[in-house]
Amino acid sequence: MSWQTYVDDHLMCDIDGQPGLRLSAAAILGHDGVVWAQSSTFPQFNAAEINGILTDFNEPGHLAPTGLFLGGTKYMVIQGEPGAVIRGKKGSGGVTIKKTGQALVFGLYEEPVTPGQCNMIVERLADYLIDQGM
Amino acid sequence: MEAVVVDAGTKLLKAGFAVPDQPPSMLRRFPSVSSEMDAAVVDAGSKLLKFNHASSEIGPEVIPTQMKRVPEDESLTDASLLENVTVDPVVRGFIRDWDAMEDLLRHVLYTGLGWEIGNEGHILFTDPLSTPKAVREQLVQIMFEKFNISGFYASEQAVLSLYAVGRISGCTVDIGHGKMDIASVIEGAVQHISSRRFEIGGLDLTNLFAQELRKSNPHVNLTISDVEKLKERYACCAEDDAAYEKIQQACSEEQHILPDGQVIKIGRERYTVGEALFKPSILRLEAHGIVEQLVRCISTVSSENHRQLLENTVLCGGTASMTGFEDRFQKEATLSSSAIRPCLVKPPEYMPDNLANYSAWVGGAILAKVVFPQNQHVTKADYDETGPSIVHKKCF
């Protein structure tokens, strides 16, 4: 299983069996910011943004005052799980990031995908990776 | 069938079908000052709890969550064998006694709202701020496993109170019986870094009232439930600081006759209770008054949102419906140190009066009409697949 397959088949899959309903972008990055795999729609990001995200995992609440930036887009930080999941919201869309042992799993969604559906997809894959020791 | 919305507070449980422009259908008004024997009690059938309905009135009624344990065997004629133990399933806003809560919910859902076993519907719960994950998970587990519901959703009370007044952003000052929450919400998401929870509430004000009354009426024997009733009837807020000082010097006294015949005089103590929220030093707490706390909380949010938050402030919770509280709050707000004055929101006209007492419930009813039809809730299938932790992923 290549990392790209994880992204294409498990993150960018059809949600609830409805064709065409899927996340807008997804990626799996290492903790150092190196891309393991990404969807073609995933935005260009820079090191500062990844550092911000990593710091927030280590010190929850770090990103909340300034907001979460990804690819130049600003997301408002909403309730996540300290040290494990960061969730951001922008209008009716948003992002969910879950940290595994060695990776960061990203999922971006837009309307009509709901935050709950994005969470399920990202966290399910991330939990699987954690179980596999990654 | 309409979804059911349940708002379980420390003192009162509000429940009903999701019909937003009506008050919750299960709000039973507690009988006037009662002695221990008449306290409301919940019947579960398989456990040792019985429910005595208070006198039901037309319109909204609220069930007190405090329950009493009574032996099921009615044939016991010896009254001294009855345990007069009060059970509080909800403590300081969080569910603590799960068995009692389950029994209470069983009564509410099956007896009160008329659900049938095997035909349970959807249910929406409200959570206070900073609910521990374990509490939410336990609730989901009980609902799916013991009650076999078909759909579940949980939302924070702060967000719901804002929905009730037609806003998605703003701040809420929720003063309940067991706790006080100051929360800021932007576009339906609570900003946790700028939200604070205080472990003081109506309960502490009742204790303060009892203390003051005992000082001025040393010969009168008061129970806490008596004082609770007196507080709801008499407590009020002075117009401002200066007026409060004047009242401390001289205040007209009122006579009140308790059900057991004792006469009690209530004078300046009623204003002390109202003042305690604006001057916590009365409660022996080193903290700022409530308006100052609100301003401080908001100041931790990025400044572009300040105006939106402060100008959409909602007061909710039973204690906030104290006479004169809102006016005093407005007055303190104009004196506050922030550049933008906190401004209270007026509820829409189609909402019932007294919205503050159950605004979280009404907001829940509004949300239920959106979430369940759009299948954004946790279904039985989801729960079976993922387990209780699904509540953190799907409900927020």
Contact indicator for B312, B167 with CB cutoff of 8 Å: yes
Q: What is the pLDDT of residue B284?
A: 82
* Interface check A79 vs B, CB under 8 A: yes
Q: What is the DSSP pairing of strand B151-156 with strand B122-127?
A: parallel
Which one of A65, A78, A115 has the shortest CB-CB distance to B302? Answer: A65
Is there a contact between B192 and A64 if contact means CB atoms under 8 Å apart?
A: yes
- Full DSSP string of B167-224: -SSEEEEEE-SS-EEEEEEETTEE-GGG-EEES--HHHHHHHHHHHHHHH-TT----H
Q: 3-state class of B11 per DSSP?
A: coil
A52 part of contact set with chain B, CB < 8 Å: no
- Residue from B330, B337, B326, B324 nearest B244 by CA: B324
Task: Return phi, psi of residue B271, to 5°.
Answer: -80, -30
| pLDDT at residue number B187 | 86
Q: Look at B396 and B249; give whichever has higher pLDDT.
A: B249
- CA A58, CA B129: separation in Å to the nearest integer? 23
Give yes or no for B302 touching A (CB within 8 A). yes
Question: Is B148 at the interface with chain A, CB within 8 A?
Answer: no
Q: Is the predicted pLDDT of residue B257 greater than 70, yes or no?
A: yes
Interval B213-226: pLDDT, tens: 888 888 877 888 88
Average pLDDT of the residues in B23-35: 42
Number of A/B CB contacts below 8 angstroms equals: 42
The answer to whether residue B81 scores a pLDDT higher than 60 is: no
Query: What is the spatial distance between Cα B359 and Cα A76, in angstroms, rounded to a whole number?
Result: 26
Both tokens of residue B46? 């398989």
Residue B53: pLDDT band by 50, 70, 90 thresholds?
Answer: very low
In degrees to the nearest 10, what's the CA dihedral of B200, B206, B207, B208? 90
pLDDT digits (tens, 9 = 90+) for B269-279: 888 888 888 88
pLDDT (tens digit per residue) in B87-145:
777 888 888 888 888 888 888 888 877 778 877 888 888 888 888 889 999 999 999 99
- Per CB-CB distance under 8 Å, the chain B contacts of A64 are 191-193
Q: Do B393 and A120 touch (CB under 8 A)?
A: yes
CB burial of residue B289 (10 Å; 0-12, 13-18, 19+):
middle
Parallel, antiparallel or unpaired: strands A103-109 and B313-316: unpaired
pLDDT digits (tens, 9 = 90+) for B334-381: 887 777 788 888 888 877 777 788 888 888 888 888 888 888 888 888
> Cα–Cα–Cα angle for B150, B40, B60, nearest 5°?
60
Whether chain A has a CB inside 8 Å of the CB on B304: the answer is no
Q: How far apart are CA B195 and CA B186, in angstroms?
A: 12
Lowest-confidence pick of A103-107, B9-13, B32-36, B139-143: B32-36
CB B188 within 8 A of CB B159: yes
Subunit contact B189:A123, Cβ cutoff 8 A:
no
- Would you call A54 helix, strand, or coil by DSSP? helix
How far from chain centre, in Å, is Cα A101?
15
Set of chain B residues whose Cβ sits within 8 Å of the Cβ of A119: 393-394
Mean pLDDT of B71-84: 46
pLDDT of residue B70: 54
Top-ranked range on mean pLDDT: pick from A89-93, B68-72, B107-111, B245-249: A89-93
Residue among B187, B190, B374 whose CB faces A79 most closely: B190
Which range among A88-92, B31-35, B75-79, B121-125 shows the weakest confidence by mean pLDDT? B31-35
DSSP string over B284-322: T-----HHHHHHHHHHTS-GGGHHHHHTTEEEESGGGGS
ipTM attached to this prediction: 0.80
Q: In this predicted model, which residue has the larger pLDDT, B52 or A1? A: A1
Q: Which of B51-60, B123-132, B191-200, B320-329 has the lowest mean pLDDT?
A: B51-60
What are the structure tokens assigned to B139, written together? 């609730």
> Is the predicted pLDDT of residue B76 greater than 50, yes or no?
no
Tens digits of per-residue pLDDT, A2-40?
Answer: 889 999 988 998 888 788 888 999 999 999 889 999 999
Tell me whether A66 touches chain B (CB under 8 Å). Answer: yes
Give the separation between CA B361 and CA B185, rounded to whole angstroms. 17
- pLDDT bracket for residue B50 (50, 70, 90): very low
Token pair for B358: 């159950």
Whether a cis peptide bond, with omega within 30° of 0, leads into A60 is no
Cβ within 8 Å, pair B191-A64? yes
Q: Which of A76, A78, A119 sits opposite B393 (nearest CB)?
A: A119
Report residue B292 as tokens.
Answer: 């100052």
Closest CA to B185 of B153, B158, B166: B158
User: Which pair of structure tokens corresponds to residue B24?
Assistant: 């919750």
Pairing relation of β-strands B4-8 and B122-127?
parallel
Residue given tokens 């699904």 in the structure block: B390
Tokens 């004082």 sit at which residue? B227
Instruction: Give the pLDDT confidence score for residue B61 in this predicted structure.
Output: 35
Q: What average pLDDT does this structure show over B166-188?
A: 89
Dihedrals φ, ψ of B367, to 5°? -65, -35
**Cβ–Cβ < 8 Å for B155, B129:** no
Nearest to B139 by CA among B111, B105, B189, B177: B105
Instruction: Classify residue B338 by its DSSP letter.
Output: S
Query: CB of A78 within 8 Å of any CB in chain B?
Result: yes
Is the CB of B393 inside 8 Å of chain A's CB atoms?
A: yes
| CB of B186 closer than 8 Å to CB of A76 | yes
Whether residue A65 lies within 8 A of chain B, CB to CB, comes out as yes
Q: Which amino acid makes up residue B196?
A: R
H-run or E-run covering B7:
strand B4-8
Residues 6+ apart with CB under 8 A from B211: none
Cα dihedral sign for B331, B332, B337, B342?
negative
Question: What is the percentage of chain B residues whose pLDDT exceeds 70?
Answer: 84
| Residue A122 confidence class, pLDDT cut points 50, 70, 90 | very high
Phi-psi map region of A61: left, alpha, beta (phi>0 left; psi -120 to 50 alpha): left
Cα–Cα distance for residue pair B184/B156, rounded to 1 Å:
12
Distance in Å, alpha carbon of A62 to nearest chain B alpha carbon: 10
Decide if B302 and A78 are in contact by the 8 Å CB cutoff. Answer: no
Q: For residue A58, what are the contacts with CB-CB under 8 A and spacing of at least 6?
A: A83
Nearest CA in chain B to A120: B393
Is B371's Cβ below 8 Å from some Cβ in A?
A: no
Chain A residues inside the 8 Å CB shell of B386: 120, 124
* Residue B386: closest C-alpha in chain A: A124
Measured between alpha carbons, how far is B275 from B20 in angstroms, rounded to an integer?
33
More confident residue, A56 or B46: A56
Strands (E), chain A: 25-30, 35-38, 68-70, 73-81, 85-90, 93-99, 103-109
